[in-house]
Homo-oligomer: A and B are copies of this chain.
Amino acid sequence: MNCKICKTKNISKDAIVNLPAYNLSLCKDHFIEWFERRIENTIKEFHMFTKKDKILVAVSGGKDSLGLWFVLNKLGYNADGLHIDLGIYDYSQKSREIIEKFSKTINRKLYIIDLKKEIRAIPEIKEKLPKKPTCSICGTIKRYYMNKATKEYGYNILATAHNLDDEISVLFGNTLNWNIEYLSRQYPVLMEYKDAFVRKVKPYFKVTEKESAIYTFLNGIKYIEEECPFSKGAVSLKYKEILGIIEGQFPGTKIKFFNNFLKKLYPLISNKSEEKEIKRCKICNEPSSLDICAVCNIKMKLNI
């Protein structure tokens, strides 16, 4: 099949990427162009940030986060990296090495938070708190340190590389349960709040996992291909599988599902006017809905 854009210029060039959701086949150069324009448009449409902002990208070492870090800098944004070394055996060691190398290639600053030093490595926390789901503990810890580090290192934006598949898998779960409270917060931009929370943005929320993987691959970026060993059997992976079946039958469903949610349901259920009172953790002074925040609570349970 020929590249659709080349065709309009009367050039016959083989397409290497097929995007049924957009009825589009593209060559390497035009896919990269299409992808980058999509990210740029998303950033502008949702007023995520401008070239004046100081952005910290949360980098795990996977295809999405390394691709995001790369594309933001290519588009001229001011984006450094933040990695939380979770201490998950080989997986974390390899991830860290890849990220460190990559940061030198693109010549951007990289901050590393070593969870072993801050609390304990994830496998050890899991062992001591066996009743709590690992992904849930790990998520809480990552959110805490990402927000804290962004403020402390002098940045005002935290960018994460959640892609469309990640977002709709969460949306799908919250919809199957009609969890209105969670649905009312599922927006690609969470605004900064006083000096408690930094602005959190998801510039990849309109691109699928496949599109993101192709972009990273075509740019020759080396990333960690293994999944986290603790993610096996996660409900979100099953939802992704099911959504994959639906997309196969009705191409374009994924992006329409999320876009229409943002356009039609979200405005009906979001509480933008609500002025919330921010409490502070009595131990670390970070924002918390309880007297002691979730991370200090984990530390206490581990006698740290």
| Residues of B contacting A249 in the complex (Cβ-Cβ under 8 angstroms) | 238, 242
CA distance A242 to B242 in the complex (A): 7
Q: This chain: how many copies in the complex?
A: 2
Give the nearest-CB partner of A180 in chain B. B264
- Within A233-261, the residues touching B (CB, 8 Å) are 235, 238, 242, 245-246, 249-250, 253, 256-257, 260-261
| Residues of B contacting A176 in the complex (Cβ-Cβ under 8 angstroms) | 246, 253, 256-257
| Residues of B contacting A269 in the complex (Cβ-Cβ under 8 angstroms) | 268
A285 at the interface (CB under 8 A from B): no
Rounded to whole Å, the gap between the CB of A256 and the closest CB of chain B is 7
| Residues of B contacting A238 in the complex (Cβ-Cβ under 8 angstroms) | 249-250
Q: Are A178 and B245 in contact (CB under 8 A)?
A: no
- Within A67-104, the residues touching B (CB, 8 Å) are none
| Residues of B contacting A263 in the complex (Cβ-Cβ under 8 angstroms) | 178
CA distance A249 to B235 in the complex (A): 10
A175 at the interface (CB under 8 A from B): yes
Give the nearest-CB partner of A238 in chain B. B249
CA distance A250 to B176 in the complex (A): 11
Interface of A is mostly: helix
CA distance A257 to B242 in the complex (A): 16
CA distance A256 to B175 in the complex (A): 11
Contact with B along A151-193 (1 / 0, CB 8 A): 0000000000000000000000001111110000000000000
Known: A260-B177, A265-B178. A246 touches B253 (CB 8 A): no
CA distance A263 to B238 in the complex (A): 26
The answer, among B178, B245, B256, for a CB contact under 8 Å with A177, is: B256
Rounded to whole Å, the gap between the CB of A198 and the closest CB of chain B is 30
- Within A179-220, the residues touching B (CB, 8 Å) are 179-180
Give the nearest-CB partner of A176 in chain B. B257
CA distance A261 to B177 in the complex (A): 8
Most chain B Cβ neighbours within 10 Å, of A178, A250, A253, A257:
A178
| Residues of B contacting A268 in the complex (Cβ-Cβ under 8 angstroms) | 180, 268-269
Rounded to whole Å, the gap between the CB of A176 and the closest CB of chain B is 5
Q: Are B246 and A178 in contact (CB under 8 A)?
A: no
CA distance A198 to B144 in the complex (A): 56
Residues of A near any B CB (own CB < 8 A): 175-180, 235, 238, 242, 245-246, 249-250, 253, 256-257, 260-261, 263-265, 268-269
Return 25 A-B CB contacts under 8 Å, by A number: A176-B246, A176-B253, A176-B256, A176-B257, A177-B256, A177-B260, A178-B257, A178-B260, A178-B261, A178-B263, A178-B264, A179-B264, A180-B264, A180-B265, A180-B268, A235-B250, A238-B249, A238-B250, A242-B242, A242-B245, A242-B246, A242-B249, A245-B245, A268-B268, A268-B269
- Apart from A176-B246, A176-B256, A268-B269: 19 A-B pairs, beta carbons within 8 A: A175-B175, A176-B253, A176-B257, A177-B256, A177-B260, A178-B257, A178-B260, A178-B261, A180-B264, A180-B265, A180-B268, A235-B250, A238-B249, A238-B250, A242-B242, A242-B246, A242-B249, A245-B245, A268-B268
